A and B are shown apart, each in its own frame.
Chain A
């Protein structure tokens, strides 16, 4: 009888030890799953954001403000053939704005999936080299956070795989998101309009947008143009 009792106690102790190990392990797996659910969306945004540190190997010098203008050659207007017109989500190029930390990839399309990775170009407008308005947006809490440092006259460099485009900032203003007079998509001259939510860095919904207007300086024209 005493033997049976001690055997039962031993087996209970064993199962208790098993529970003591198994339960924390099971809970930790659940906790890990929750951690992953929380972290995966952040990581998917962080990954493209840290793909470049923004620290160049060589310092960039603004093209427009080259001290002796008469010594610089007039940029030659060349024409390049596009193999194919970009499709939504395609990487279009890379953007930097002198005097700011704006330094990001630019994608064709302006949905959330493009804005997660960088700046996005509105599909209803044009791409660099087409001779029209390029309307580009990005989130104010990430890639266009430093719009507040942008100044009139700053050089905007848009590097695509078919050519390097330079624009100069000519104007900046705040407008509402429904104000269609803030941009002219039918302009017959090449120009770049960049916009982001305002106030800068806001996380909440805002109907205000900060627009930066840029005039074309140099870069090849493209063919074929938008279908």
Chain B
């Protein structure tokens, strides 16, 4: 493939490949690590919500024990659904910055303890008991806010700052890619050359994305979190989904470029067929 201006064609093709690969990266991030639904899906599929519920129940039992009450007296106040709702709300807070505090299931714990303890012991509660129950409520509310939180909050908060620049960057990269693709038209001499240039760009994008996948897999991300961490399985499935999607997005963008390349390829075939037809009668006359 010869270009009209020596370096211009390969340079614009290279730029198109870089823009395409960066677009694939942004698309992969938007579909995985930057997407709330993806995180929630992985969270709900993991054991983390059960682990959080278990932790909260155990903490409630410790509080009750320390207060001299029946150990499992607070258990009935917390359900896995309460935990799920609270964790999802806090997750939403990370993504959208809402400041709505999740409802604590311990809001009515004072009344609940007054009724339950009185019913169990047959004695009415007194002033000291009320102080104790209020204190239990304060502890449980604080314990609830500390524990009913989405795992990987630090990592998510960090990623959110990059998510904000995704839209302007995408617009710029799409523009660069389209301009570079369009530039192939004046830079190529024939339809066949143009088809070849688009084929090269697509190939560069798909190879770049595959190399990106390999680079991510070789980065050792599996060891960034200790395997003993209770949320390690969630981390592995959450972060592990990114690299394959990067390769898939690269293939998708390359596919689009190749699809565009079908047009000049078809035109090249037609032109060559017409030329052959023209030449054929001339050869017959000889």
Spell out A's residues near B (CB within 8 Å): 16, 19-20, 23-32, 34-36, 38-39, 42-43, 45-47, 49-62, 65-68, 71, 96, 98-101, 103-104, 141-143, 145-146, 148-149, 151, 153-155, 200-201, 203
Contacts and interface: CB of A to CB of B under 8 A. Distances in A.
Q: Classify chain B: how many residues form its interface, as a range.
A: 35 or more
A43 B223 CA distance: 13
B212 A142 contact: no
Given A31-B17, A60-B59, A66-B66, A51 B226 contact: yes
Given A30-B14, A31-B204, A67-B139, A53 B229 contact: yes
Interface of B: 1, 10, 13-14, 17-18, 20-22, 25, 48, 51-52, 55-56, 58-59, 62-63, 66-68, 90, 94, 97, 99, 101, 132, 135-136, 138-139, 142-143, 145-147, 149-155, 157-162, 164, 196, 199-208, 210-212, 215, 219, 224-226, 229-232, 234-235, 239
A29 to B, nearest CB: 7
A57 B25 contact: no
A46 B155 contact: yes
Contacts of B160: 141, 201
Contacts of B94: 145
Contacts of B159: 46
Contacts of A35: 21-22, 25, 208, 212, 215
Given A25-B207, A59-B59, A71-B66, A53 B225 contact: yes
The 5 closest A-B pairs by CB, nearest first: A24-B203, A27-B204, A28-B207, A31-B208, A53-B231
Contacts of A61: 59, 62-63, 139, 143
Contacts of A96: 146
A34 B229 contact: no
B32 to A, nearest CB: 13
